[in-house]
């Protein structure tokens, strides 16, 4: 019940004020503009990922990632000995999300293309490549395959941007990009 009920009980039959009609028209036109901009930007924005997504058993993806890390390991990082894997140019690179880490660390060469395979082992995670601002939702049982060609040398952070549990705030990983023929 309102504090002050309307003067007339059938308020929807009252005329609408001119200023209110103008704002409704502006909001409607802005909505149409934004709708068509989404279509335009999807086609001409050149920033939309076109990943290939398929189903995969998380245990199979974990096995493939472990084999990849073992085969292409160039060194270990940190107290836990996280492997740094440097795949061959034009090859496959695997990165998995699990409670609360991105594994392994990747070292890629500038200007070379790679097929980056992403999946999660336990719950939904977010793959956010910073400062590039590439964002992908990574689910268990789904494998994303993205063609990635680094254009800048540097260290890029991978963070989880989907809440995945109490340790979510520490879930980070790295991708190093180096000049061709060089290591870190």
- Mapped onto helix, strand or coil, the DSSP state of residue 100 is coil
Average pLDDT over residues 15-24: 91
Tens-digit pLDDT profile for residues 134-157: 888 999 999 999 988 999 999 999
Domain that holds residue 157: 52-178
Nearest-angstrom CA–CA distance, 43 and 15: 43
- Has this prediction a pTM greater than 0.85? no
Average pLDDT over residues 66-90: 92
Identify the pLDDT of residue 5: 72
DSSP state of 140: B
Q: For residue 164, tell me if it sits in a domain.
A: yes
Nearest-angstrom CA–CA distance, 129 and 33: 30
pLDDT at 38 over 70: yes
pLDDT at 6 over 70: no
Q: For residue 136, tell me if it sits in a domain.
A: yes
Cα angle: 131, vertex 103, 181; to 5 degrees: 70
The sheet carrying 101-103 orders its strands as 52-55, 142-148, 114-120, 92-98, 101-103
Q: For residue 7, tell me if it sits in a domain.
A: no
Q: For residue 29, tell me if it sits in a domain.
A: no
What is the CATH number for 101? 2.60.40.420
Which residue intervals of the chain are DSSP H helices? 18-44, 58-72
Q: For residue 135, tell me if it sits in a domain.
A: yes
pLDDT at 55 over 90: yes
Identify the pLDDT of residue 13: 80
Burial class (CB in 10 A: 0-12, 13-18, 19+), 72: buried
Q: For residue 115, tell me if it sits in a domain.
A: yes
Number of structural domains (the chain) is: 1
Q: For residue 62, tell me if it sits in a domain.
A: yes
């Amino acid at each position: 019940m309102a504090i002050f009920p309307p003067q007339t009980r059938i308020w929807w039959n009252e005329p609408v004020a001119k200023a209110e009609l103008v704002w409704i028209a502006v909001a409607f036109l802005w909505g149409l503009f934004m709708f068509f901009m989404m279509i335009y930007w999807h086609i001409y924005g050149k920033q939309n990922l076109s990943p290939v997504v398929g189903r995969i058993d998380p245990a199979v993806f974990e096995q493939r990632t472990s084999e990849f890390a073992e085969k292409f390991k160039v060194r270990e990082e940190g107290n836990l000995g996280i492997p740094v894997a440097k795949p061959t140019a034009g090859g496959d690179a695997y990165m998995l999300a699990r409670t609360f880490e991105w594994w392994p660390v990747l070292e890629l060469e500038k200007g070379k293309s790679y097929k980056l395979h992403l999946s999660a082992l336990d719950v939904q995670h977010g793959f956010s490549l910073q400062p590039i601002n590439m964002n992908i939702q990574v689910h268990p049982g789904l494998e994303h395959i993205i063609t990635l060609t680094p254009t800048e040398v540097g260290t890029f952070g991978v963070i989880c941007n989907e809440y995945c549990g109490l340790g979510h705030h520490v879930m980070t990983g790295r991708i190093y990009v180096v000049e061709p023929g060089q290591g870190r």
